[in-house]
Amino acid sequence: MLTAINLTSPTCCSISLFSSPSSKSPSPPRARVSALCRSSLSVADMDSGAGPSLFPLHRCKTLHLVRHAQGIHNVDGDKNYKAYLSPEFFDAQLTHLGWQQVDNLRKHVHACGLAKRVELVITSPLLRTMQTAVGVFGGEGYKDRMDVLPLMVANAGECNRSAISSLDSPPFLAVELCREHLGVHPCDKRRSISDYQFLFPAIDFSLAKSDEDILWKANVRETKEEVAARGLKFMNWLWTRKEKEIAIVTHSGFLFHTLNAFGNDCHPLVKTEICKHFANCELRSMIIVDRSMAGSDSSTTNYPGKIPPGLDLPSDIADGKLENEAPNSGLT
């Protein structure tokens, strides 16, 4: 059952987030209808979010949210949180274990068919997220070709990995709005865009406003409220994209504070499902819904009907007309 998580942004569109239904054990259609018939839910209950919700498909986007794999900062930080203050973890790269996590997630997205459905991969422009993104959603091993750039050059970030091809992969776009909690922690400070362009030639960095990192401050850390506001701005920005199925590779703090803005009118277990902290290299699929007509794209699958045209008065409308005519026609 889909359960709505409502959000109204004060600056842009009204959007909702849904937990994507499990594909492991779908109920047969007859069983679902039967269960609904036995339910005591009223129409008002369903409309308020107590039951399933219905939305036009072309006003929805599917988001596959991924937290990066294990970084070198995670290992020491798990033992002592003060390690996150260490300059040696500047723009932390993945560990050997982290790359194993990437390989396992890659196998999963190919086995379940997700790799073929994703139209765009959005990544936070930090080393660990880009390594995760290209490792999971990129092409196979890179072979020199004049017409195809690699997504990642060999040994990028001292990873001891072969180059990764962009051939037969979706486009990759770096977006600063989905960076980790900004400030103070050196692991969350990025390198220059020109450095990244050398390491990840096929990733699009055109949205970066400056070569150097002007967002990260050594002595000022974003508040939780500021991270959440940035996350909602990112969610609203997604409606400017034409793609309907998008993978987003980002960070635990960004995901946690952004998703906590959703789900306050839902069952507590549903809110927990959406908002709980992500494990390294965890993927969760969500559906984001445009409630406010902010999206302008028309449906590609809807069909107008009545081709060729013919008489088609629905029976329920006929019933209504008969009722309206009854006082004047003598019908009872």
Residues noted as catalytic = 68, 180
Q: How many whole angstroms separate alpha carbon 23 and alpha carbon 205?
A: 34
Q: How many whole angstroms separate alpha carbon 125 and alpha carbon 134?
A: 12
- The full DSSP string for 155-174 is TTTS-----EE-TTS--EEE
* Phi and psi at residue 136, to the nearest 5°: -85, -45
- Which distant-in-sequence residues (6+ apart) come within 8 Å of 84 by Cβ? 73, 77, 185, 187
* Phi and psi at residue 71, to the nearest 5°: -105, 165
CA count, 13 A, side-chain hemisphere, 215: 23
Q: Which of 326, 323, 252, 241 is nearest to 290 (CA)?
A: 241
Q: How many whole angstroms separate alpha carbon 186 and alpha carbon 208?
A: 19
Query: Widest CA span of the chain, in angstroms?
Result: 90
- The full DSSP string for 208-274 is -S-SS--S--SS----HHHHHHHHHHHHHHGGG---SEEEEEE-HHHHHHHHTTS-TTS-HHHHHHH
Q: How many whole angstroms separate alpha carbon 176 and alpha carbon 179?
A: 5
Residues in the chain: 332
